[in-house]
Structure 1
């Protein structure tokens, strides 16, 4: 592959990160109608050219119809396109960082059985149009992606942050075309040519925007690498500390089979629906297409030379041309495809358990009948190959999955439900093995050898067994779970203690937010100094919440901490306490003792409240020392507010529910809580607290997960004390602001949503993938079928 180095951004651009994005979006919207008009005109000229070169009446009629309909609807489509593009851009912007990573032009494996033939055809047409468009803009698009991400200050290229992605323009165009009342054939004739014309327009737009961004001083990020598929991919330089086994890109579609025409999207859907499951009766007059028991010469003679004898007898013999010649040529195509596929499947795919001719022994025993079973074996072969190529798996696990391939091939011949039933025992076994293996980032990781021994001892016999049903896989699955549960039980109690501590912190935080709002409504809260009101609305609200959680139900003011809040507000107003110094003198010893007692109940650090206690002492001393300012005339200007004088300004707002919860030191130790000051950005900022405070305030504006929400069970690489550690998200708080990760050794790390977002943004946490390994592999099979369907219609 060709490697081109691009200098990462050393200085932030002068504009805000969103300014370049807003400008190019505005330019795209302003040019939407002219672009649509040029695309339509280029399509009309291409249709006219094809019409002039038509060789058959059918082709001439199709091109004439497509051109006439295009001319009739050109103005309507050009008028509607700007609004469709605006909606597509707004939808993309509204999704923001939480936009799904899945493309609208792909199909998931498990969705196929829910689709009809029309939807399949539409999906193939969308994918074909996208392929044409991407090939036209590939180079400039990669450069624009790098520049847009550089302008936004991202550390590496994330193409989803480019608002002018080809998919957005194509989605808008297909939306407009779908609104036109024309036949599917006309839409088919339009879209390929429109995609070509749109590619030309977007290429010009991208080159213009690239020049403007470069002239503005924007620098691209990462490296540009040309992949084997010809696509450009930008990645950041690999850190030496990156843990082995990690790969940022796990898209397996490019590494799947180059594609056999037998595997198409429609046939894959029929396989999931079970349309190939009916086996031919022994006395059936003719074999299924592709039956290896019948030679092609026999099939051709039966269906082409003697069609009436080959077909079921009805009242009148069927002699239609469509049932003879096309059927014979389809049989030829399918039988050739089946032969080629079986030849490929017969090659050795796993070194263990092979026969004398190099073919796996289990595969030699297979009796394949018909297109459906051959297709099942091809899907299994592609799925296994995709799993074994998944870079998230360590090589011993990859090899073990390959060794299971003969057993899986036997299974799908006996039980085709493997494809359509997501909870099938064999699919769950593959998923559980691969998911559990993600706990290890190298073959030398603690526990990996024990994990592999359990696989070899319990699941290893499957590699050479004769498989009759899913029960063989179910028994192995139960045994593996029993073995793993023995180890998990020892770590379960530690994890439960960590979760219990975090749940208590979360409950206290939610109750403290409610109490904070109640204190904020007190009539005199606005008359106390800012530091005191912040103390009441923050730490003291946590103290009151802790007392209520620990008290018996129905207690009105457990610990009398609400009463203390009222007394504290009175005691810090010298104009009130001067009038009753005796009462203040009696209150102070109890007040200070009760304050320290309450803060100790939540183990609140004393150094965080030193300034508050010093301020209390100053305010209380003012009560016993009449100030000269008291005799000042009413018309005199008020003195400037100081730290020791009350203010008439509104009190600080109460703590919002989405603010960071207070986690007590004991709870932090129990759950491995990581303070936001320990994040990589904060560490790099040094000891100066000002940048940290500024960063925290900016984070507080919108704590959110970049790109996609991480779910329980997701494995990540987390940078801890400069070292990468493999760990799994094992718990999320009920309000989504606390997260607990657990490593295979049982070590826990917990953090807030704000810190999690920061770690992801700064590359200190790397998500292996949101999608499960087996689902990823099967979706790659669907993409291969999609690719074959697209290629077959070129």
Structure 2
């Protein structure tokens, strides 16, 4: 029979060996999930990010799988050696491992030295890898811990000494991910999509190791448990992970924990209870539950806990209703509050103790009724995990209710949903840790959907809120046994939202197609203009004609090429017009061959008009050009009338009368770069497209609403024709018109406005002032050159603008970006920081506090 060290070494080698194909499968699953997310994403920026993450992950697959096995083997052996030294350490004193942090410390800010404290929020994001892995392995891990402790010669189970514990796998993978030469956002995506596959693969590895140990006739050690301090003796803070501690009055006994969710009909022995009446024990267990999942979730509850809950419940039922007035009624808001611009209204206070409208939320509008539900569920709890799950829900609701980004009625709705969330936590205590869980998705989807609105008194917001109220009230009236009611509620709401979105999508897609085509056409026109500028026959061509050639005619040629379905060399023959046009305006040449000009002129003018008509250009827009072109051709036309007896090909030049045709400006240098169409200019759009895309809606809606830029006040009219596709002049200064600006506070510095604009991506929300009203609009498209933007507000109303207009609106605080990052995720991050600060060492508290203040 093999010795214990040999058995342990065999397990270590087997675990490291299995890690290589396991990681390969994890990467394959993550790549498939990334590809699926990419195909379903409506945001171009998000699709690009997902594609880049997928490609980079595939590139690391081979090297990582080999490196992962080698790194794990080193860490396993180091951990095993340290565990051998720690076997002399009394149970309840958790050894610190320099290689891999202990379970309780892995999720703390201190543990993430691999990012060198440069980004605490990213460290919290990566800790979710372990949080998502633990639920998948909790049952097999509990059994493996008993067997590994037995192999290590320990009389009782000490999970923190297991060299194969999940945090070893997770942190080794994290270190490898963060060492990759990619952006942190890509690392975050990798962690998110690798978490679920890693949990499944690690469960298979543990099951294989359990089978190997059982075949070696290893008998599992027992768990070392504590008697509740209620039996007497001094209290001492124990180790929540192992259930051990020191102090008088504590007895020891070995037992095997029941499966997750198991509730015995027989009362547990006192030695198996956790005393949650002790604040220190409760704090430790809460931190352990939040970060380490199921290590103590299955423990029973001490009789003292039920006694305290019973007293609390009796007091609640006996207490009279508080005299606290409800929050401002929907029908009678505070005087003047509704008249304040939506973006400038002060935040109304909402928290888990808020009195809500009973007209809207029924009995659960009263905080006392919600407290009774919470306390009754705490009384029905049988395991530590259930009580901790209820505590997490209470704190989570409190954080979301105080999120200033959400409108007050939305925060009230989350508070009103607390009873249903509490009932869900009783049957699924860890639901909040799974981003795809229906309970968490329902909260997040409602919050994200509410970002479409910025005015709680608007009709549009009321239409959004009413179905949410009905869904939440229905949930509060149901008996929650699993996640299915939340899934159904979300499906019903999502169907209603999808119907609204589909109604708006068709018009939006048509507009986007027109803008994308205009941008593509402009890009091709710039290339054509560059080709034209290199022609050798540009000498002595008037600047007027060169401007037309490099701008309007290059656009016509680009349009013909993009719409050509027959793969022609010169669609519509627009390219052949160029040499004729250039020849026709060279006076010295045409006066010698007037017959040729007479012959080509009708066809030339017809082609020019046809090309501009193809663009959808109003004929009046090109009147000036054709009038000037006619003046350039006038000498030849006059010559024909005066020389009726001579052959046109032998005719000589006739003097030109100055008053009939003033000499145009000529460019004799063949280098025409100064006359090229500007590639940085916005794409040209016809008047119909401009109106449909909502360019007029983004212009100031009353005199004085937009102050002029300091550096272009003299060139207001010029800027309207060069930088603004709509061609509408900017408004005059507010002080000249006597009309107050809707923006409050000082103007934003140009550099800051430019930074905010660079940060805007498709899918981001903004508050936009348009036509005397603040609207919540979403950026649905930004040109690849960053010169054109389209926003859409409620009802599918488009609002398009150039980069210059967008920067100006930001500077004058008429366009304000809105932060819409994950509501539930940020609340959980804040909750994790609080738990870490309350349970960590004094040196650990400063980092979370700094992050909360940031």
Deviations 1:449-486 (A, max 9, x none): 22222112223222343333222211111111112223
| Gapped regions of structure 2 (runs ≥ 5) | 1-116, 132-194, 203-220, 237-243, 256-273, 288-304, 317-351, 356-362, 640-651, 657-661, 726-749, 846-854
The 1:783/1:350 distance shift into structure 2, 3 A limit, reads same
The 1:103/1:722 distance shift into structure 2, 3 A limit, reads farther
1:669 corresponds to 2:691: yes
Q: Which of 715, 726, 729 in structure 2 is aligned with 1:690? A: 715
- In structure 2, the residue corresponding to 1:447 is in which secondary structure? helix
Q: Which of 486, 495, 509 in structure 2 is aligned with 1:482? A: 495
The 1:546/1:712 distance shift into structure 2, 3 A limit, reads same
- In structure 1, the residue corresponding to 2:816 is in which secondary structure? strand
| In structure 1, distance between residues paired with 2:367 and 2:621 | 74
- Corresponding position of 1:204: none
Verify the 8 A CA contact 1:528 1:573 in the aligned structure 2: yes
- Corresponding position of 1:589: 602
Matches within 5 A, 1:370-519: 373-519=386-532
Deviations 1:10-31 (A, max 9, x none): xxxxxxxxxxxxxxxxxxxxxx
| In structure 1, distance between residues paired with 2:396 and 2:446 | 15
Verify the 8 A CA contact 1:439 1:726 in the aligned structure 2: yes
- Corresponding position of 2:778: 728
1:295 corresponds to 2:230: yes
Q: Which of 115, 125, 128 in structure 2 is aligned with 1:113? A: 128
- In structure 2, the residue corresponding to 1:467 is in which secondary structure? coil
| In structure 1, distance between residues paired with 2:234 and 2:485 | 38
Verify the 8 A CA contact 1:417 1:424 in the aligned structure 2: no
- In structure 1, the residue corresponding to 2:509 is in which secondary structure? helix
Matches within 5 A, 1:175-324: 295=230, 297=232, 300=235, 304=246, 309-310=251-252, 312=254
- In structure 1, the residue corresponding to 2:760 is in which secondary structure? coil
- In structure 2, the residue corresponding to 1:310 is in which secondary structure? coil
CA positional deviation for 1:559 = 1.8
The 1:337/1:783 distance shift into structure 2, 3 A limit, reads closer
| In structure 2, distance between residues paired with 1:516 and 1:598 | 16
CA positional deviation for 1:349 = 3.5
| In structure 2, distance between residues paired with 1:388 and 1:728 | 24
CA positional deviation for 1:331 = 11
Verify the 8 A CA contact 1:303 1:310 in the aligned structure 2: no
| In structure 2, distance between residues paired with 1:760 and 1:616 | 43
- In structure 1, the residue corresponding to 2:591 is in which secondary structure? helix
Q: Which of 558, 579, 584 in structure 2 is aligned with 1:566? A: 579
- Corresponding position of 1:280: none
| In structure 1, distance between residues paired with 2:245 and 2:384 | 17
Verify the 8 A CA contact 2:787 2:802 in the aligned structure 1: yes
- Corresponding position of 2:795: 745
Verify the 8 A CA contact 1:572 1:620 in the aligned structure 2: yes
| In structure 2, distance between residues paired with 1:611 and 1:755 | 28
Deviations 1:541-573 (A, max 9, x none): 111122222222312222211111221122122
Aligned length: 506
1:549 corresponds to 2:562: yes
| In structure 2, distance between residues paired with 1:296 and 1:659 | 81
The 1:756/1:791 distance shift into structure 2, 3 A limit, reads farther
- In structure 2, the residue corresponding to 1:365 is in which secondary structure? helix
| In structure 2, distance between residues paired with 1:688 and 1:735 | 26
Deviations 1:57-80 (A, max 9, x none): xxxxxxxxxxxxxxxxxxxxxxxx
- In structure 1, the residue corresponding to 2:780 is in which secondary structure? strand
Deviations 1:514-560 (A, max 9, x none): 32222222222354233322221112111112222222231222221
- Corresponding position of 2:765: 715
Deviations 1:225-272 (A, max 9, x none): xxxxxxxxxxxxxxxxxxxxxxxxxxxxxxxxxxxxxxxxxxxx9xx9
Verify the 8 A CA contact 2:699 2:770 in the aligned structure 1: no
Verify the 8 A CA contact 1:727 1:743 in the aligned structure 2: yes
The 1:621/1:401 distance shift into structure 2, 3 A limit, reads same
Verify the 8 A CA contact 1:733 1:739 in the aligned structure 2: yes
Verify the 8 A CA contact 2:778 2:792 in the aligned structure 1: yes
| In structure 2, distance between residues paired with 1:462 and 1:108 | 35
Larger radius of gyration: 2
| In structure 2, distance between residues paired with 1:525 and 1:416 | 78
The 1:721/1:299 distance shift into structure 2, 3 A limit, reads same
The 1:336/1:459 distance shift into structure 2, 3 A limit, reads closer
Q: Over the residues paired in the alignment, what is the CA RMSD in angstroms?
A: 4.7
1:361 corresponds to 2:373: yes
Q: Bigger CA drift: 351-360 or 535-544?
A: 351-360
| In structure 1, distance between residues paired with 2:408 and 2:770 | 25
| In structure 1, distance between residues paired with 2:821 and 2:757 | 14
| In structure 2, distance between residues paired with 1:489 and 1:725 | 21
| Gapped regions of structure 1 (runs ≥ 5) | 1-101, 117-268, 276-282, 314-327, 631-640
| In structure 2, distance between residues paired with 1:423 and 1:300 | 41
